[in-house]
Every structure is written in C-alpha cells, then in structure tokens.
C-alpha cells in the first residue's frame, strides 16, 4: 500500500471536488450569499429563474431542505465527500470484481480510454432509457452519457448499499461535478495510477483514504485551537479521528476478543493471534463466562467510536477463523458475524458509510452471493433529532404516565446527539415494544394524507432513535475502540457542560470520558480494549478516573507507546499513547503485564521489529504496589526498592515551600528577552526600584545548576500594569526576589533544576522552591539533579510537564553523614556551570569572547585547540563530580545501575569549531557596533555594509583584519583569516576572503536570529535575492534618520559602484581576443550587476518612503513590534526573521 500516493490523491481530490461542487451549485444560482428559490411556471420548474424539468422537483426540494439545515460551506463539504466515498467504493468493488453487473464503471478492463460501462450498458439492468444513452453517444456527448450511466449505477447500488448510495433524485445527484471523464478528474487520476490501484488490494485502504481526506481540515482546526478557537460541533469528527494502524488493532482485538476465546477454551489457530499476550495464571477463571456449550453467536463486540471500521474488520477476521474452526460453512459465517457479533457507533456520516461498506465487502470477499441477501447491520449513525409532532408520536407509542418522562428524556438527549455520540447513556427500558408499535404503524403509511408527511418523517426518526438507544443502553462482552482525543480546554461550551454534568470523574478529555463510557458498555466480566493518550496514566487531573479504573477493573495487559520528544510514534502523532486491556471487574493482587514500545523499536511503518519488544520497561507487576506512589500513577517500571521509599520517606513539601509565580496574561506585552531592552533600564540590583525591567526566571531548556537567565519582566511601579491586566494572576508576590531553586515546568528532556537569583521574579513556567537552610537547599539541588531523580521523575512526572503538585511529592532523604560531601560536590558543579554560562553571548555577564583569554597565543587555530582542551578537562571534572554525587544518592535510595535510565546516544557529530568560529564573528560584529569593547579597537559604526567586493574603506573584511590585528597580532592576521574561513567550511575553489564575505552576506543574519531566539538586535536591511544591498544596523543605536543615512551613504554609493563595474565589463567585452568561455563569464557578471541595479531602483522607492517617515522606536516595545515597523510582513526594507 502506497500511503504517499493515497495521501496526495485524497487531499487533491478533496480540494478539486469542493471547487467543482461549488461550480455546480453556482449553475443553479446558489452560493454563500444566494439561496435556492423554487417555483412552478408553465409546466416547468423555475430554479432561481432558470427552467428545469418538473421531474427534478424532489431533488431540488431535498437540496433546499439541506440548505435550511446547514450552512452553504458545510453542505458543499458534505456533497464533495459523499461523491468521494462513492467513487472509492465503486473503485474498490471494481478492482475486486464485486460489482453486481460485473462491468467496470470507472475504468476499462480491456485498455480502452473510456470506462467499460459506456460500451456495455445495453447488457446491464440499469434504470435508464437506453435510447437516450445511444443518442448522446451518437451526437458525441460522451460526458452526458457517462453522467447518466454513473448516476444510474449509483442508484442501482442503493439496493445493496443503501447507507452509501441514496435513492434516485437526491440532492447529491444535482451537485455531482461535471467533466467526470476529463483527464484531470478524480476518477481518471484514481484509475490511471497503478500505485493507487495496487493499494486497493486491501480493505484497509478505505480507512487510510478517509484519514487523509480529513487531514487538511484537521490541521486547520488545530491551528485554530492554538488561537483559542473552540472546536465546533460539526468539526468534532475531523478534529478527533485518528486511524489505528493494523498491528495495534490486532493487539487490541486479540487480547480482548481473543481472550474470550481463550477463556472458553474455544478452538483458534495460534498463528491467528501473533499479538496475543498470555494472561497470568491467577486470573479468577471461576468468574469467567466459561461454558462447555458456549455459543459464539452470543459474543457481542462493540466499537463505540468505530470511524471507518478498522477494528470491526479485524474482529471479523478473528471471528471468521473461530466459526470456521467450529465447523460452520463459510457461506453462512459472514451474515452470522455481522448480524450477531459486531456493533458500532459513529457521529460522522462519512466514516459510518465507509465502515458499513467495508464490513459488507468483508462479507462479499468470503461469500460470492453475500450482497444478494438482506443483511441487518448493527452499525448506527448517531444524529441530531428535532421532531415536529412529538405529542402525536407519544400517542402512537402508547406511552403511559410512568414511562413518558423516560421516553421524552431519550428524545431530548438526541437533540445534540451528533456532538456527544455514544457518550449518551439512555436508560434501560423495553425499546423493542416501542419499535414494534412504530413498525406496525409504518405498514399503514399509505392511509395517511399528503399533509401527514411530517409525521411519517418523525416516525422514521424516532424508530431510528429507539434502535440506537436500545444498542447504546445494551451490555457487551467486548468493547474495543480508539476514541476521540480532545482536551476540555478545546471543547465548545455545550460539550464542556455535558462533560461536567455526566462525566465529572473523567471530564478532562474526550478519551477519558470514553474510558468511563466503555466501563458502562461492558458486562461485568467483559473485556475492554482501548487506545488513548498516555496522560490518564500519570497526570493529577486524571487521578479520579485512574483510581476508579484500578478499583473497578483489572488491567490485564498494557501496550505503552511513549513519545520521547524525538523519533516517530506508531500512531504518527507527537504524543504518547497507550493501548489498555481491562477486565471489567477487580481482581485483588492480579499481576498485570506491561509492554513498552519506544521510537527506536519500530520500523518506518510504525510496526515493532519484535513483539513483545525487549527493553527495561517490559515487566509484570502486582498493580497494588502502585498505590504506594503519590497520586497512584501507572508507573509500571518503578524499581521494587522505591515502593517503600515512596511510602515512608519525607516529601519535598515536608522540608521546603514550592510556589508558582506570576502569570502576566499577555507575555507579548510584559515579557522581553533582556537584550531587547536598554540594559541600563534593568533592575539588576534590588534597591534600584526606579527601573522598569526586572530579571525573571521563565522556563527554558534543560539546565542544571545555573543559567537560563534570559528574560526580564515589566515591573514598573511594582508591576502595576500587570496587576491591572484582566487576564493576569499575580501569585505569591511575597516570595518574589528571594533565593531558591527554579525548574522549567515543560521540557522535552529530563528534569533539571537550577539556582534562582535573588534579584529575579519567577513566573508560572518556572516554579520556585524555597528553603530556610542554605545547606539543605544545596543538598536538595544536588539530589534533584542526580540520576536518582531521573528515575523518580520518570515515575511521578513521566510526561513533558513537571508540575509543582508532582515535584513536591518527590521523596527526599537527607543523609546527615553525606551532607557536607554532597554540598562540596554541588558547589564545584555550580561553579563550573556558572563559568560556562558567563562565556555565552546571551548572558548579561558576557563582555568578551573566550578566545580573548588566550590572545597571547596569537593564532586562532592554536587558541581554539587550547580552548577545546580546557573544555574537555572541565567536563571530565564535572562528570567525575556528578558520578560521585550519583553514587551517594544511589546508595541512599538503594538503586542499582540497571534501574537508572540512560539517555539513548544520538548519532550526531557536533562541529564545535564551527560553532565557536560563528560566535567569535558575532563578537566581532558586537565590537564593531560598540556593544562590546576591545581595547585599542575604535572602528565602531552605526551600520555595516556587506558586499561581495571591497568598495569602501570601512569594508567588512578590512574591519575584520583590523580587529584581528588588535585582538591578537598584526603578524598573524592572514593565518587567522584562513582559519576562520576554513572553520566556516569553504566551497571548492573558494578563497578565504570569498568565504567570509559569503558568510556575512548570506548566513550571519540567519545565525543571529537562531542564537537570539528570533529576536535579533542586529537588523538586516535587505534589497532582495540579488543582494544589491545588505546592511546591518544595531537596534540599540537606531535613530529616526538611520534609514535615510543608509539610503544616501550605502544604497546610492553602492549603486554607483555597480554601474562602474558594468562600464568596466562592457569595455572588456569588446575585446575581440576573448574566448567564448571568457565572454560568457563576463556577460554573466554584467547581467548580475544589472539585476542588482534594477533591484536597487525598486528597493529605493520602499527605502525612501520609510526613511521619509523618520520612524522612532521604543526599545521597551521589544524586537517584534519594532522590527515589524520596517519589515512590514516582508514588504518593507528588513529581511524576514528566519
């Protein structure tokens, strides 16, 4: 199966069909602003004043009805996907020769350009007038003939696949796109691509196409979520559907349905269940369904969120093997399975159609005559209902006073059922008797008058509701599903209210609500198999439902697929998931089986190389042990020795305070990187209250001991503006600007903690831990940064979030005999980290590049080597100190080396010489702008022009040579220029100066943007891709006339230089002795300069306009606001920030 081709086809088909449906609607005068007007006039149907035959009235009426119920955009989407579903369904039947007439509808079986149906329609039993088709073909209207035949085939398929092919005269027929046989049509693209055709060998293709078709709407919905737009009712299916890979489906089915088979000693081929995990022997078999005369047709399996039916399809396969082993005839098995064993619910009509279709195709693949027999599918589409004659319905149902409230409640709960789906829990009642009454009345419909059509429609609706409610209120032997994933914060208001009212224990996500719902669906001794996000296993927000799961069910086995911030996951999503198999009653002391699949244990298709995989997390444990861990996380990998420590050791909260800091409500307004604002306006001293900006600990990457001091917060007038902001929360202000430890509450790596400087505030992303005793603070700093805490954080904080509520539960053992040793080691590690941080240009302590510490060595190549050697020596020391520290705590916590989680080494070589070379050139630019000082170097500028040649005395390379002469020695300038160029990696045939110019012209600004987190303080005035003008300016020295200065001193002067180059080249080109290659080279150079001049002429207009505005900047507004004044979305004069 070629998933790339499938994805490209599905996405392109959706775009194309939507546009074609819009075009078709416009033919009838319908668009977003214009509705449908239907009149009868002179024996014709007038549609928005255009005539159509009267026989089309039912179709137009159905279209008008749909436009009343739905927005235009939604209707277009629905019609587009309906025809997409029909086309891929016909194609699947065509490829497998399942079409009733055995005639290809979309393609030719004999290599003709046009489909076989155009040539063989006369042999088919289709609802058409054959003479009309002949006449169309004879007059050359092949498209018209094919359209009629295609629609006729769809209408014929209604008798066997009514859920996908509606009856004749449906509104979808009106909006079927034109030009179906066009070379670029969806049909032609589908049938002419061999990769797509081969992909249709498997029924799984239907599910993949459904997922890919939805991929663009889903991406847009989640982009809107990031903008705090809630997911609306009609978007829930697109937002929450995730296709379950085949091997995971097999695991889920084999360990639930397969376990029932095992429990009852039913025959099944071992090779049929490669992902089955044998249960522990202490399962209480006395409570199982075990029955010597067990009837397999009694097994009821439900998927309450069936999507395109992938889970049901594999359940079908396993059940088929079972029926066959028990001696049933193959021809009888499909109907037995579909009518007795398999049940499903869905809120998305597209998915419901495809699931129903896929199941029918399964039956057809086994029994050739399957589609000729009536089959009662137990798959249900859950839709909204609005009745017009509820009172009359109650009369027909003969509802007594005792039950009227219950029946009315059922009808009311289905008013928004398409939003809640199978989360709806109808009461248990005698649904069959009510359904029988309505069915009996349906047989008398011919006695009703034309005015009773609304009642007939209501009867049909209520009949379907009662059928759905009967199945929703039922109990099942196996419940298997991949539910929707949607956090409470992304839900719309109605869904939030429903979650809080009906699922208070599990309301934080749709998936957790479905865990609870599946427990309702399941019989007491049933199996539940569900794949969800992993968050319910660990987070405190899921603690209530987690405790219920552990109290009311038994975890038989679990397949955990964590997302570790790198690599791929089996579901193709960037968060951890877990497939859990539950027995729906609790067995005290049961030993559960846990299996973990990491990203490096799966292939490119997401399939594990080996199952079960072999790693340190694969284990069997008595789940009762987990109850000793605070919050009872499902941390199944916990070393045995830690359970007692969790139970008895003091917690961090016993010896320290942990506080969450300020939430500004608008970080864009109140938070800056320190280098954005004027340094003299930052309160580095607590006593300087008059200054506006205060250092602020705010999140950041992995950082132990010291660092991540990048941010400042607007604390003018003691934070008055923040305190007055409507969305701010100023917590724990009394602890601001105190000593302590801080950590980042979100990270893709391990837990790390660092010191918090006394002069800083802290925000909600960097909680503060405070101690009364400095000695204890340093000891805990060492403990929390040790590998022992790596183990504990994996247990208490196994996601990317480190919440205060979890951190305070970390067990802290204070060893009095080791406290002095630990503190000495911590002091040494702290000093190393601090010295290292000071060498970073992003540190506010930075004033000179580390290379300058070795300037007496003169040669950069020797300096770099010495610097690297010292770094290596320091790191060896650091590792030695860290090893000692870890040994102390490993002994204290009774851990073994095999308990320690070691990071997977990355196959990545880091070029430190290149990194340090770039940082040195950045330092040189800083000195050139006067930001840093180098004694003796006075060549400071307000702007720096980058060019491909030396044009001016203040040329960048000439300035670099001066800088190197002063920094090291005039005698070593050439060698140091060579080293810098080589460190930057030169192209073949490139000289040293050329490489350095290319770096400044093309690479420096991009490096600067990355280093400064897309908040550059050096701005690049850039004329465009011809590089006619590239001038660097320093934000902190910007003046209102800076752009005018650049225009007159840089643009106009460089333009004159380019013109001189062109004149010189023209003079050289007239030389008759030039070879062809020389002439070609000079002509190319001349063309390059001409393009630069053309670019500068256009750029000069923009630059002049901005220069004339004499724009002032306010450094307190930050880079983003100030930069945009000149960048203007890429239409201004500054390069886009990369």
Please indicate, yes or no, whether residues 163 and 262 belong to a single structural domain of this protein: no
Total-model pTM: 0.80
Instruction: Write the DSSP symbol of residue 570.
Output: T
Its domain, for residue 753, covers: 652-856
Our count of domains for the chain comes to 5
- Asked if 468 and 484 sit in the same domain, the reply is no
The answer to whether residue 865 sits within a structural domain is no
Q: In a 10 Å sphere around its CB, with 0-12 CB exposed, 13-18 middle and 19+ buried, how is residue 174 labelled?
A: buried
Q: Is residue 225 domain-resident?
A: no
Strand order in the sheet with 1030-1034: 943-946, 1030-1034, 1018-1022
Of 592, 598, 595, 601, residue with least CA distance to 617 = 595
If pLDDT is split at 50, 70 and 90, which confidence band does 366 have? very high
Per-residue pLDDT band at 287 (split at 50, 70, 90): very low
- Asked if residue 41 is part of any domain, the answer here is yes
Alpha carbon distance 1110, 1131 (integer Å):
18
- Is residue 573 predicted with pLDDT exceeding 70? no
Q: Are residues 542 and 458 in the same domain?
A: no
**Within a domain: residue 904?**
no
pLDDT digits (tens, 9 = 90+) for 1115-1135: 999 999 999 999 998 899 999
Q: Which band of pLDDT confidence, cut at 50, 70 and 90, is reported for residue 285?
A: very low
Residue matched to tokens 């349905």:
257
Distance CA 756, CA 709 (A): 9
Separation CA 334–CA 732 (nearest Å): 66
Shared-domain flag, residues 204 and 116: yes
- Asked if residue 1135 belongs to a domain, the reply is no
Better-scored residue on pLDDT, 862 or 748: 862
The stretch 566-576 carries a mean pLDDT of 65
Q: Are residues 826 and 744 in the same domain?
A: yes
State whether residue 895 is helix, strand or coil: coil
pLDDT band at 613 (very low <50, low <70, confident <90, very high): confident
Quick: pLDDT tens for 237-275.
655 566 688 889 999 999 999 999 888 888 777 667 889
- The reported pLDDT for the residue numbered 450 is 45
Pairing of strands 1018-1022, 657-659: unpaired
- Element containing residue 350 per DSSP (H, E): helix 349-366
Task: Give the mean pLDDT of 543-567.
Answer: 88
Own/partner pairs, 1106-1111, CB within 8 angstroms, 24+ separation: 1106/1043, 1106/1132, 1106/1133, 1107/1041, 1107/1043, 1107/1044, 1107/1046, 1107/1047, 1108/1044, 1110/1040, 1110/1041, 1110/1044, 1111/1040, 1111/1043
Contact 957, 993 (CB under 8 A): yes
- Residue 864 inside a domain? The answer is no
The CA distance from 985 to 983, in Å, is: 5
Chain mean pLDDT for the chain: 89
Q: Is 1009 helix (H, G, I), strand (E, B) or coil?
A: helix
Picking from 186, 220, 254, the residue at the C-terminal end of a domain is 220
In CATH, what number is assigned to the domain containing residue 794?
3.90.220
Residue 283 has pLDDT above 60, yes or no: no
Residue-by-residue DSSP string for 233-248: GGGHHHHH--PPPHHH
Of the candidate ranges 686-700, 857-871, 1031-1045, the one whose mean pLDDT is the lowest = 686-700
Give the domain-ending residue among 856, 883, 901. Answer: 856
**pLDDT above 60 for 470:** yes
Smallest CA-to-CA distance from 553 within 520, 530, 519, 521 is with 519
Q: For residue 600, report the phi and psi dihedrals to the nearest 5 degrees.
A: -85, 5
Residues 6 or more apart whose CB falls under 8 angstroms from that of 1036 comprise 678, 931, 1017, 1115
Q: At residue 30, does pLDDT exceed 90? A: no
> Of 602, 637, 672, which one is at a domain's C-terminal end?
637
Q: How far is CA 627 from CA 516, 589, 771, in A?
A: 20, 12, 29
One domain, residues 459 and 547: no
Residues 1062 and 944 in one domain: yes
Average pLDDT of 172-198? Answer: 91
**Confidence category of residue 292, pLDDT binned at 50, 70, 90:** low
> Mean pLDDT: which of 73-87, 675-689, 817-831 is highest?
817-831
Q: Is residue 396 part of a domain?
A: yes
Based on the fold, state whether residues 679 and 619 are members of the same structural domain: no
Residue 565, pLDDT > 80, answer: no
Q: pLDDT tens, 999-1012? A: 999 999 999 999 99
Is the separation of the CB atoms in 570 and 248 below 8 Å? yes
pLDDT of residue 130: 92
Q: Is residue 895 part of a domain?
A: no
Residues 631 and 749 in one domain: no
Q: Which helix (H) or strand (E) holds 58?
A: helix 57-69
- Residues 345/471, Cβ–Cβ less than 8 Å: yes
Is a pLDDT exceeding 80 seen at residue 289?
A: no
State how far the Cα of 151 lies from the Cα of 173, in Å rounded to an integer: 7
Instruction: Report the pLDDT averaged over residues 701-727.
Output: 95
968 and 820 part of one domain = no
Give 1104: exposed, middle or buried? Use CB within 10 Å, 0-12, 13-18, 19+. Answer: middle
* 627 three-class SS: helix
Assign 761 to helix, strand or coil: strand
Q: Please list the residues that pair with 659 across neighbouring strands.
A: 768
Give the CATH number for residue 573: 3.40.50.150
Regarding whether 552 and 458 lie in a shared domain, the answer is no
On whether the CB atoms of residues 332 and 501 are closer than 8 A, the answer is no
Torsion sign over Cα 660, 663, 667, 671:
negative
Answer whether residue 536 shows pLDDT above 60: yes
- What are the CA-CA distances from residue 135 to residues 139, 141, 284, 1054 (Å)? 6, 9, 74, 74
Residues 616 and 701 both lie in one domain: no
Measured distance CA(745)–CA(764) in Å, rounded: 8
Express each pLDDT in 503-528 by its tens digit.
Answer: 999 999 999 999 999 999 999 989 99
């Amino acid at each position: 199966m070629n998933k790339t081709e499938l994805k490209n086809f599905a996405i392109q088909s959706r775009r194309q069909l939507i546009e074609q449906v819009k075009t078709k609607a416009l033919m009838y005068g319908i668009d977003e602003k214009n509705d449908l007007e239907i009149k009868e006039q002179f024996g014709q149907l007038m549609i928005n004043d255009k005539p159509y035959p009267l026989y089309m009235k039912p179709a137009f009426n159905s279209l008008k009805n749909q436009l009343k119920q739905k927005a235009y955009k939604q209707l277009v989407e629905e019609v587009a996907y309906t025809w997409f579903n029909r086309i891929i369904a016909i194609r699947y039947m065509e490829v497998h020769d399942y079409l009733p007439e055995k005639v290809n509808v979309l393609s030719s079986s004999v290599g003709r350009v046009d489909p076989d149906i155009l040539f063989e329609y006369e042999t088919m039993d289709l609802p058409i007038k054959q003479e009309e088709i002949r006449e169309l073909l004879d007059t050359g209207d092949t498209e018209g003939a094919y359209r009629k035949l295609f629609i006729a085939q769809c209408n014929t398929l209604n008798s066997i696949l009514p859920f996908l092919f509606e009856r004749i005269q449906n509104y979808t027929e009106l909006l079927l796109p034109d030009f179906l046989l066009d070379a670029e049509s969806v049909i032609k693209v589908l049938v002419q691509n061999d990769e797509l055709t081969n992909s249709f060998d498997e029924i799984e293709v239907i599910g993949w196409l459904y997922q890919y078709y939805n991929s663009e709407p889903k991406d847009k919905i989640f982009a809107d979520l990031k903008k705090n737009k809630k997911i609306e009712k009609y978007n829930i299916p697109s937002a929450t559907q995730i296709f379950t890979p085949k091997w995971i489906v097999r695991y889920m089915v084999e360990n639930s349905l397969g376990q029932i088979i095992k429990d009852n000693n039913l025959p099944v081929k071992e090779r049929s269940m490669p992902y089955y995990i044998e249960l522990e022997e202490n399962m209480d078999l006395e409570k199982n369904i075990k029955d010597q005369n067990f009837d397999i047709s009694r097994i009821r399996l439900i998927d309450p969120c069936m999507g395109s039916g992938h889970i049901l399809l594999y359940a079908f396969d396993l059940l088929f093997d079972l029926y066959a082993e028990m001696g049933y005839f193959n021809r009888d098995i499909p109907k037995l399975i579909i009518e007795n064993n398999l049940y499903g619910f869905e809120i998305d009509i597209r998915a419901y159609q495809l699931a129903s279709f896929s199941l029918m195709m399964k039956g057809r693949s086994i029994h050739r005559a399957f589609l000729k027999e009536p089959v009662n599918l137990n798959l249900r589409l859950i839709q909204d209902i609005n009745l017009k004659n509820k009172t009359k319905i109650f009369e027909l149902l003969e509802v007594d006073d005792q039950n009227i409230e219950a029946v009315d409640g059922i009808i009311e709960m289905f008013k928004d059922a398409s939003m809640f789906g199978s989360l709806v829990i109808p009461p248990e009642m005698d649904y069959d008797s009510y359904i029988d009454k309505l069915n009996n009345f349906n047989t008398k419909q011919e006695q009703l008058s034309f005015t009773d059509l609304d009642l007939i429609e209501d009867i049909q609706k209520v009949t379907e509701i009662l059928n759905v409610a009967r199945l929703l209120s039922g109990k099942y032997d196996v419940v298997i599903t991949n539910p929707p994933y949607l956090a409470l914060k992304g839900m719309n208001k109605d869904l939030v209210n429903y979650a809080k009212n009906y699922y208070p224990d599990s309301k934080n996500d749709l998936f957790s609500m479905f865990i609870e719902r599946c427990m309702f669906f399941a019989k007491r001794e049933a199996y539940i198999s569900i794949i969800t996000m992993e968050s319910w296993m660990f987070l405190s927000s899921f603690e209530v439902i987690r405790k219920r799961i552990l109290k009311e069910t038994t975890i038989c086995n679990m397949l955990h697929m964590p997302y570790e911030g790198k690599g791929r996951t089996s579901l193709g999503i960037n968060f951890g998931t877990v497939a859990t198999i539950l027995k729906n009653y609790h067995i005290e002391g049961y030993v559960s089986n846990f299996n973990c699949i990491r990203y490096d244990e799966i292939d490119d298709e997401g399939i594990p190389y080996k199952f079960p995989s072999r790693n340190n997390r694969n284990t069997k444990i008595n789940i009762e042990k987990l109850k000793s861990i605070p919050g009872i996380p499902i941390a199944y990998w916990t070393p045995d020795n830690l359970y007692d420590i969790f139970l008895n050791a003091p917690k961090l909260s016993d010896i320290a305070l942990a506080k969450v800091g300020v939430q500004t409500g608008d970080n864009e307004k109140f938070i800056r990187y320190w280098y954005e604002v004027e340094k003299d306006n930052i309160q580095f001293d607590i006593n300087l209250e008059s200054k506006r900006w205060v250092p602020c600990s705010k999140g950041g990457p992995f950082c132990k001991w010291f660092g991540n001091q990048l941010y400042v917060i607007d604390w003018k007038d003691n934070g008055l503006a923040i305190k007055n902001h409507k969305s701010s929360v100023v917590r724990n202000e009394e602890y601001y600007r105190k000593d302590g430890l801080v950590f980042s509450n979100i990270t893709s790596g391990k837990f790390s903690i660092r010191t918090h400087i006394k002069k800083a505030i802290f925000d909600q992303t960097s909680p503060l831990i405070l101690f009364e005793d400095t000695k204890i603070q340093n000891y805990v700093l060492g403990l929390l940064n040790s590998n022992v805490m790596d183990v504990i954080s994996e247990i208490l904080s196994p996601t990317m979030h480190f919440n205060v509520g979890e951190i305070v539960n970390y067990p802290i053992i204070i060893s009095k005999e080791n406290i002095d040793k630990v503190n000495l080691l911590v002091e040494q590690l702290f000093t190393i980290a601090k010295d290292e941080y000071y060498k970073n240009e992003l540190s506010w302590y930075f004033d000179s590049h580390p290379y300058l510490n070795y300037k007496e060595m003169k040669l950069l190549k020797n300096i770099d080597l010495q610097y690297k050697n010292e770094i290596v020596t320091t790191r060896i020391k650091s590792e030695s100190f860290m090893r000692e520290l870890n040994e102390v705590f490993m002994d204290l916590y009774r851990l073994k080396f095999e308990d320690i989680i070691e990071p997977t080494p990355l196959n990545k070589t880091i070029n430190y010489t290149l990194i340090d070379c770039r940082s040195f050139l950045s330092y040189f630019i800083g000195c050139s702008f006067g930001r840093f000082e180098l004694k003796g170097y006075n060549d400071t500028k307000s702007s720096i022009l980058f060019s491909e040649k030396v044009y001016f005395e203040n040329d960048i390379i000439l300035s670099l040579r001066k800088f190197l002469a002063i920094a090291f020695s005039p005698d070593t300038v050439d060698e140091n220029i060579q080293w810098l160029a080589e460190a930057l990696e030169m192209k073949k045939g490139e000289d040293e100066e050329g490489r350095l110019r290319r770096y400044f012209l093309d690479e420096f600004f991009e490096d600067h943007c990355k280093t400064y987190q897309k908040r550059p303080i050096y701005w690049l005035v850039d004329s465009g891709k011809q590089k006619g003008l590239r001038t660097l300016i320093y934000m902190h020295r910007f003046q209102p006339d800076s752009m005018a200065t650049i225009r007159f001193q840089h643009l106009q002067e460089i333009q004159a230089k380019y013109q001189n180059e062109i004149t010189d080249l023209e003079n050289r080109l007239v030389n008759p002795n030039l070879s062809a290659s020389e002439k070609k080279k000079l002509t190319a150079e001349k063309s390059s300069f001409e393009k630069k001049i053309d670019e500068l002429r256009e750029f000069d207009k923009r630059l002049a306009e901005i220069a004339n505005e004499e724009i002032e900047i306010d450094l307190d507004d930050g880079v983003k606001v100030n930069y945009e004044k000149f960048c203007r979305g890429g239409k201004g004069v500054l390069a886009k920030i990369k």
